[in-house]
Amino acid sequence: MGNSVVALKELGEFKNGANYPKGSYGAGNKIVNVKDLFRGRFVPFNGLDELKPGTLKNKDIYLVEDGDLLFTRSSLVKSGSGMVAMINNPLEDILFCGFIIRFRPNKSKVLPLYLLYLLRSPKYRKLFTDSAVQTNISNINQETLGNILIDLPNFSTQQKIAAVLSALDAKIELNARINAELESMAKTLYDYWFVQKKVESWKVGKLGDVLKIYLGGTPSTKNPEYWENATIPWLNSGDLTEFPIIISSSFVTQKGVDNSATTILPKGSVVISLVRYIRPSIITMEACANQSVVGILETEDLKNSFIYPYLVNEVPRLMSLRTGAQQPHINKEVIDETLLYIPPKHILKEYYKVAEPIYKKIINLAFESQTLTELRDWLLPMLMNGQVRVG
């Protein structure tokens, strides 16, 4: 394919973002913060913070343009170091903060979208995290970024590679939008059936008495038999940011499960985190969890499409019950003691006829997106080394 290898600094210019005092936020110019670089390949322009007019004396040097790449300069966790997202067709002035490094590609040398895909690939994400300096937070600087070597095919090939990968991402993003709408629809449906129409004559019981609830646990981290060549998904509270959960960040062996307080939860169980932000989700595979998560088993009458939206509605109350300054949390007993109004079986049966197809669609689209994500990440190095060609 005739690829060349060049340092990133040869393909454009770097600029650190704007620093400003506390209390500068208010109606004015939108500004990109670190959290916005984790919301997809393109920086989303909705939901950005704003700076009051006059906060920055040299505002123009901190504006972004179409095709700019923004990197996290500082991250609370090492895995977030050097995360990159692209500015795509901004329609107004948008700034970027001092915890971000802007890279403005020379568009005569490299296609920004190709560069974005390359730098978001697993190979380069590992390079960035390995290069980050860890103190209280992880830091990466212009020099480190500039010395990263870039695989650079000819411009025509860059365009073809970006087009293929962008088509996959467009479908993934469409699935995410559909699922957001479906989840909103499912919540509205639940509220209509069981919140607005709640009848005092319905049975009421404590959640821990009505359903089987298991607190997770952690096997010894010093015993390699519990972790090496592990295949059983092992969830922590961070995994519950996804709904539904179709993959796990960690795995444990059966021996590790047997030598801990954790329990293997069946597919379809509802899980809820107990620390920091209280989040419920549904698992789509057999899995266990650590002690920051409880698993709730569905029954023939009380299925996950009833339990999950019930817990979503309970989140504000559960959040208010957290204790602890450094790591706010609730205990399993709080979940056990939560009251649940239980409708008659015939009402639940009619509800499931409508709700279950919605949840099934959400899960199917989540699996499809995961497959497309894996395909995208597999394709990039294959396209780069010529094992797969685009016409």
The residue-averaged pLDDT of 45-56 equals: 90
* More confident: 182 or 40: 182
In a shared domain, residues 337 and 258: yes
pLDDT tens-digit readout, 327-377: 899 999 999 999 999 999 999 999 999 999 999 999 999 999 999 999 988
Query: Which residues lie across from 251 on neighbouring strands?
Result: 233
What total of structural domains would you count in the chain? Answer: 2
The residue from 92, 123, 152 where one domain ends is 152
CATH number for position 228:
3.90.220.20
pLDDT at 136 over 80: no
The residue-averaged pLDDT of 186-208 equals: 88
In a shared domain, residues 220 and 320: yes
Q: Is 96 within a domain?
A: yes
Q: If phi over 0 gives left and psi between -120 and 50 gives alpha, with beta otherwise, what is residue 265?
A: beta
At 135 the pLDDT is: 53
Whose structure tokens read 């029954």? 299
pLDDT band, residue 137 (cuts 50/70/90): low
CA-to-CA distance for 337 and 191, rounded, in angstroms? 22
In a shared domain, residues 208 and 103: no
pLDDT band, residue 76 (cuts 50/70/90): low
Q: Is 236 within a domain?
A: yes
* More confident: 144 or 75: 144
Share of the chain above pLDDT 70, in %: 94
Q: What pTM does this model have?
A: 0.81
In a shared domain, residues 130 and 214: no
pLDDT band, residue 167 (cuts 50/70/90): very high
At 125 the pLDDT is: 80
In a shared domain, residues 145 and 27: yes
At 1 the pLDDT is: 47
At 140 the pLDDT is: 80
Q: Is 184 within a domain?
A: no
In a shared domain, residues 210 and 142: no
> Which tokens hold the place of 134?
């860890």
> Which tokens hold the place of 75?
């991250």
pLDDT tens-digit readout, 200-257: 778 999 999 999 999 999 999 899 999 999 999 999 988 888 899 998 889 999 999 9
The residue-averaged pLDDT of 152-173 equals: 91
Q: Is 212 within a domain?
A: yes
What is the domain extent for residue 324? 203-342
In a shared domain, residues 334 and 268: yes
In a shared domain, residues 218 and 314: yes
Instruction: Select from 272, 278, 270 the least CA-distant residue to 327.
Output: 278
At 151 the pLDDT is: 87
In a shared domain, residues 228 and 129: no
The residue-averaged pLDDT of 76-100 equals: 83
Cβ burial of 132 (10 Å; 0-12, 13-18, 19+) is buried
Count Cβ atoms below 10 Å from residue 262 Cβ, excluding itself.
26
Q: Is 180 within a domain?
A: no
The residue-averaged pLDDT of 319-332 equals: 90
CA-to-CA distance for 261 and 219, rounded, in angstroms? 8
The residue from 124, 152, 180 where one domain ends is 152
In a shared domain, residues 147 and 210: no
In a shared domain, residues 211 and 141: no
Q: Is 172 within a domain?
A: no
Q: Is 207 within a domain?
A: yes
Q: How far is CA 27 from CA 48, 53, 55, 208, 220, in A?
A: 11, 8, 11, 47, 51
At 80 the pLDDT is: 58
CA-to-CA distance for 153 and 156, rounded, in angstroms? 8
pLDDT at 104 over 60: yes
* More confident: 196 or 290: 290
Instruction: Select from 108, 16, 27, 1 the least CA-distant residue to 62.
Output: 16
Q: Is 146 within a domain?
A: yes
At 287 the pLDDT is: 95
The residue from 152, 169, 194 where one domain ends is 152
CA-to-CA distance for 279 and 273, rounded, in angstroms? 5
In a shared domain, residues 228 and 316: yes
